[in-house]
Amino acid sequence: MANPWEEISLDDYENHMSLDSVGQLQALNALMRLQFSAHSAKTVMVLGVAGGNGLEHARPLGFEKIYGVDISDDYLREVSRRFADMSGVLECLRIDLLSDAQNLPQAQLVIADLLIEYIGYKAFQRTVEQIKPEYVSCVIQINTDPKAWVSDSPYLHAFDMLDEVHDQMCESELEQAMAQIGFAKVLRSQTALPNGKALVRLDFLCKNLTNKRL
């Protein structure tokens, strides 16, 4: 059975996320600017890259390699089109993190925004262990009403199938999961959204950087 994210059009996703009543595309863009520049890294992997929102902030930072990972071929084709000027540095990879994480290359920095909700802590642990990063920067969504985790909008029903794969995130559980694989939290920030929800950014540092150098 196809993953629901392979069925959701990028237009529906981005139009929903950018609505004034949702505001997540804009908030994530601002957060990604900070995530790209917060840590000293030459290689970065963006998990769940979607249409590439925020990738423009990586352009001036001199990354030697940027990996954009997603399960949707359509999303990745659009990323390649939008960021054609980054060809040679940006590499798009279609990988299902639930079954094919072993195919991921290594990178010093991992950015995973609104992704862990759809693969779970265990799969995220396996993914991070495969990539062997020095730094991991995540954004999770905090909901005032866990039953209404998708904001109301004209595009709401495009996301109906996501109930099958979505899990509500808990900060302490994510911190625990990362500690189990050798990562310590070094930063927390919270961004309020216009609909009462919030985005929480959590950055983690590998406790043993010596063995993680690429």
For 131, counting Cβ atoms within 10 Å of its Cβ (0-12 exposed, 13-18 middle, 19+ buried), the class is buried
What are 33-83's pLDDT values in tens digits? 999 999 999 999 999 999 999 999 999 999 999 999 999 999 999 999 999
pLDDT of 210 > 80? The answer is no
The class of domain 4-212 in CATH terms is alpha beta
The confidence score (pLDDT) of residue 139 equals 97
Q: How confident is the model at residue 154 (pLDDT cuts 50, 70, 90)?
A: very low
Write out the two tokens for 185.
Answer: 């939290």
The confidence score (pLDDT) of residue 157 equals 45
pLDDT of 213 > 60? The answer is no
The confidence score (pLDDT) of residue 156 equals 47
pLDDT of 126 > 80? The answer is yes
pLDDT of 172 > 50? The answer is yes
What are 159-171's pLDDT values in tens digits? 556 555 567 889 9
Q: How confident is the model at residue 4 (pLDDT cuts 50, 70, 90)?
A: confident
Tell me if 99 sits within 8 A of 71, measured CB to CB. no
The confidence score (pLDDT) of residue 61 equals 95
The confidence score (pLDDT) of residue 166 equals 62
pLDDT of 108 > 80? The answer is yes
Q: Which residue bears the tokens 């995130």?
A: 169
Tell me if 38 sits within 8 A of 32, measured CB to CB. no
Q: How confident is the model at residue 21 (pLDDT cuts 50, 70, 90)?
A: confident
Which three-class secondary structure state does DSSP give residue 89? coil
The confidence score (pLDDT) of residue 161 equals 60
Look at 197 and 22; give whichever has higher pLDDT: 197
The confidence score (pLDDT) of residue 12 equals 81
Look at 12 and 56; give whichever has higher pLDDT: 56
The confidence score (pLDDT) of residue 146 equals 53
A 10 A CB-CB count for 182 gives 15
Domains of the chain by residue range: 4-212
> Chain-wide mean pLDDT for the chain?
87
